[in-house]
Structures are given as structure tokens and as C-alpha cells.
Amino acid sequence: MCGINSLYKIHGVVDPTDLRRMSSAIVHRGPDEAGFCIVNGGRVGLANLRLSIIDIKNGHQPMYNEDQSVALVYNGEIYDIEECRQNLIKKGHRFITRSDTEVIVHLYEEYGMDFLDKINGEFAFILWDERKKTMYAGRDRHGIKPLFYHVNSNEFVFSSEIKGILSLDRIERKISPDYVMSTCITLYSPTDTFIDGIKSIRPGHYLEISDEYGLREKCYWKPRFNTDNSISFSEAKEGVQHYLVNAVRRRMIADVPVVVYLSGGVDSTLLCGIMAKLNQKLKAFNIGFNEAIYDESGIAEETAKFYNVDFQSVHCSMEMLADSFEKNLYHNEAVIVNPHSIAKQLLSAHVHQSGYKVCITGEGGDEYFGGYPYFRLEQIWRMLLSDSDTAKKGLKFLEEFKVKEAPTEFAMWDHNDKWNQNSSFVGYHSFFANRAIGAYEMFHKILDTEALGITSAQQPGNLIRRNYDFEYLRELHPFNASRFISLNQLYTYMIPLLGDRIEMANSVEGRLPYLDRDLAAFVSKLHPKYLLQMDNLREKHVLREAFNTELPPHIRKGKKHTFLSPNWDSFLATSRGHELEEELLSVDAIKRTGIFHRKNSKYITLARKTLSPDDHTRKRVDLAIGVMLSLQMLHHLFIENKVYSNPKFNMVDRSPK
């Protein structure tokens, strides 16, 4: 894994000092070595920071083809790399390294941008084609690796992180109203970042930049849920087992040890079990909390013993979370609605300190296999709207669901009497639409909409219509439509906050088997009834059955455990949390940033102190506190203050000779 930066000058030439500044700002992504090149007569610069995982001695970047007409900087891992390499060798290509970076160069030579259809992995890249005088910048299908860009009248600027772009003082810095509303209402902003004018390349897309055409965005992949009714349940189980085992096996290939993150849920348990079969010296890491309702360390330890795996739990107190809040926001560069992102960052720090560079994690399992509580809640709603007998059964399931999922209420589901009254934006009774309406009602009151420039374009319906293909969603089974929306939130919220950013903050590479190309394609074809079994409110039915004999007894019998951490109320009760409240949510602080309405914001802090913790409004208030703290801290870190950068940062000049 690495960090990448690039400049494409419309006028003038690239100053290597800019590449040094940008690279120094994200050096945590690749502390092992740094290199850059200047091409296209000085108008294009590419830079790379390397975290050495495969071919540690030879995989230097930027990397070229034989005649140096193609230059590449690349961040990620390709898991079918040997198959690709052998196919290319048969076509006459020669290799001098074992790195996947060189394979990408030759794949592009052979297939052009169609090479993206031929690789299975997680990546971001910037490629310069000297013959075509064209730059290409793109991301993997699921957006696991980040890539941001900024365009002005003089240049195109690219970086793995927003701070890489902001290290250039000439870039204007102000809060994006589109991001604020999208994040507050839908937790989904496919292109917007908190800085107005800095965009994210969409997952499954790439940009093409040239003097002739300027910038053009192209989509090479998007999720498709085309149910194949011919697949039997037995075939579904066999397929899930086959593809998941292969996905894990691929991700264990490295020239350094690979560890696993282990929680109390079935996703990480299966990864641990599969890895234990492939590696008898496996080490598992876990996060533990003081509050029993959030702590899964006991379950995880029992799982580790079952698989005979070395286990280590990292204890996170609320004081530790509060002390690490600022660092977390600096690396995440995004709003967090729950402190669990901070806990994951503390875990990755411990993994790094323990001498490891690569971890395997379970993100994506809930989205593809329908594991979140709202999948079951929406099915219950559909039952309540059916005939009388089915509706009666739905009422019974609803009461059981409320009891079973009480710990995840509002974080992962929100039942209220309005679900059937709210007109759905997506053609069915949707948890996402219901939540968006409720969030809009609250945040529209506390945001300073006039100062931010928020208009009717940022209302829930307009935001969702702008971000989703409604016609496609209405063609899908409601379960699959929710999977589609859930995946988009995974790309834009869950992975950045629980995956790449918090791991790379500590120079750790995360690998995600549940987002393997082949596994995802197979699971997308399965009938919803294979994934959701309502008789016992069981999620991920086919996944559990596929590995039933290999799961520990306590996991086979148990319920899903959604990874959560203590709330903001507990956070603010700590010494540092209290200081942050004074620093970020005081009247003067609110006035200075101009993000929140000064008068209405007072009601949020008052409600936090007066309402019962069990009150539904109080739970919404807790989310609002997290959003307010995050936006205020982001403003402090990146708008009120400059990003640290070093114009003399040490890099190897690998420009063509």
C-alpha cells in the first residue's frame, strides 16, 4: 500500500517542491521510500510514497514500461497478479520485478483502460501515457483505496488524501454545503468532501485528462443485482464457501506476516477460521471496551481459542478515545457519527507497534449478505403491509426484533410510526429514506443554512435523486435495492472511517475479502430468501449455512454483533471530552466557524444534559453531537490552520533519463 500524488499543469511546469510538500503531508501512507518523476515536458508530475509489502527490494515507483512512454504511481494490491503476469508473458511482455505495479503497466500496454476489467483487487492509480499525452486516474470497484482531486484554471491536483492537496497553500479552503447536507442526512457523498472544490473519484470510475478534452469521467463498473433463480440453495452454499476461501487465500499473499481483526460477529470469525487453516501461526487482534454492552473481547477470545489462534485484545477506555479524537479527524478528514472510528485507529496503532503491516478485516460482509438490522426491519414492514395473517406474523417479528436489536437502535435501525407515512424516494418503504427525513428535520434547524449557502437542492429527496439511479433501484427487489444503497454508504462512509484511513494513519494495510470481485459477483446473483431467514430473524443465512460445521458453537447459536462503541455522552464525560466541548461547541466557537445556527445549537447541548438516554430524541441528539464536534474540528484542523508540509522532503527523482 502507498500514497500517491500528482500535478497536471494547464499552464507552466510542475515545481518538484510541490510534490515534496504533498508527499510529506501523507508520509504515514508510505514510510518506506518516496519517489517522483516529471514528464510531458515538465507539465506533469507523479509522486509515490511506498509501504513495502510485495517485492520489497525492487518495487520502486514511479514505474515505467520499457521505453518509458507509460509512467505509473499506484496504491493497492492486485490478488490475481500471477495469473495476469503469466498471461502477459505469453503475449511477449518482459518483467524485471515481482511487484503488481509492473503488471498494471503491462496490462495497460496490452489492453488500454480495459485492463480494469481484468484485475481483482483494491487500488488507486495515476497513469501517464506519453504517446497519447493523456493522464488516467482511477479507483477500484468498491472504493477501498481513496483518490481525491482538485481542478482550477491552472492545474489538476491529485492525492490519496485531502491533506495532500491542502498542503499547497494556493488551494482555497471553505466548507462544502453539499458535503455537510449529504453527510448529515444520508451518510453518503459519492464525490463531495468537506472542502468545497475538492472531489473524490467515484468507486468503479476513472478520470481521463488531456489538453484536447480536459477532464472526462468514465464508469467502468457499478453494482448489479441480477438474481439468478436457477441457483439452488445447495449451490449457493457451495459457491459462497468456494469464493470466500479463495478471497482469503489471495489476501494472505505477502512478503510480510498477515494478521486478522477479530470481533464477536460471524464475518470476522469466518475470516479467522479460514486463515487459521491456511496459517498455523496466525495472530488475531480485537478491541475491548469498559462498557459490557459494547465489549466483544470475551467472545472474540473464545473464538481464538476454538481456532487455536494467538489472541490480543486492545483495551479502549473513553479517555483514550477522547484523547485521540483530534488525531482521528486529522487522518479521517470526514465526519464521524460514532467514536468507533477512533477505537479502530487505536487498534491499528497497536498492530503497527506490534510489528505488523497487513491485516485482514470483515468490511463488506454486512452489505453483500444483508447483515444489518434494517434489512430485517424493512422485511417486517413489507409483512405488515401484506394480508392479515402475514401482518400478524409481522407484528410478532417486530416485537422480537425490537428486543433482539435494542443495543443497535438508531445506529443501525430506527423504528417509528412514520415509516408508512413518509413517501419513499426509492420506490419502496426504505429505512434510508425514513432516516434521511428524520435527519433533515433536525439538521436543517441547527445548521446555519444561510451562511453555508444551503438551498432546496440539498433537501433529502434531491440529494438522493442526485446520487442514485432511481429507475434502476425500482427494477430491483427491495432487499437488493437496500443492498445497493448500503454498498454506496460502505464506499463513502464505512470504508474511509473504519478501513483505509484509520489503518494507513498507522502505516497498516487493510485487506477486505468480502469485497473480492468474484465473491461479490456471485453473491449479487443469489435470491434474497437465501440471505434473510425471517422465521428466526436470522441474517446472512447462506453464509452461516455454508460454514456451519466450521463455526464455533457460541457463534452458531449467537446473534449478529454490530461493532459499536460507547456514545458521545460518555465521550464528553471524560476530562478531554469536556475540554473538546468547550473548545468546539462554545458560543464563540460556533460563531467563528459559521457552520451551525448559534441559537438552535444551544438546544442540542441542553437536550443532551436533560433528556433521558432512552428517549428517541436523545439518541438523535447524540448523533448530532458527533456531527457538530466533527465539523468543528475539521474546520479547526484544515481551514483555520495550515497542513504541515516539508518543501525539502527527501524523495528520489525517477524522471526519465
Structural domains of the chain, ranges and CATH numbers in brackets = 2-171 (3.60.20.10), 233-363+499-557 (3.40.50.620), 567-641 (no CATH)
The CA distance from 50 to 73, in Å, is 10
Q: Which pLDDT band holds residue 53 (cuts at 50, 70, 90)?
A: low
**Residue 258 and residue 79: Cα distance in Å, rounded?**
14
Q: How far apart are CA 128 and CA 634, in angstroms?
A: 33
pLDDT digits (tens, 9 = 90+) for 570-603: 899 999 999 999 999 999 999 999 999 888 888 8
DSSP H or E segment with residue 115? none
Residue bearing cell 468507486: 203
Q: Could you give the 3-state DSSP secondary structure of residue 328? A: helix
Share of the chain above pLDDT 70, in %: 95
Q: Does residue 614 or residue 603 have the better pLDDT? A: 603
- Higher pLDDT: 345 or 609? It is 345
161 and 15 Cβ atoms separated by less than 8 Å: no
Specify the pLDDT at position 197.
Answer: 96
Residue type, 183: T
- Please give the model's pTM, rounded to 2 decimal places: 0.94
Among 436-445, 477-486, 580-589, the range scoring the smallest mean pLDDT is: 436-445
Question: What local confidence, expressed as pLDDT, does residue 530 receive?
Answer: 96
Burial annotation 136-160 (CB, 10 A radius, 16+ → b, else e): bbbbbbbbbbbbbbbbeeebbbbbb
Q: What is the mean pLDDT of residues 187-197?
A: 87
Angle of helix 373-384 relative to helix 431-446, nearest 10 degrees, comes to: 110
Q: How confident is the model at residue 562 (pLDDT cuts 50, 70, 90)?
A: low
Local structure of 59: helix, strand or coil: coil
- Residue 8's closest CA among 216, 218, 209? 209
| Catalytic residue status for 2 | yes
User: pLDDT digit string (tens) for 310-326?
Assistant: 999 998 899 999 999 99
68: left (phi over 0), alpha (psi -120 to 50) or beta: left
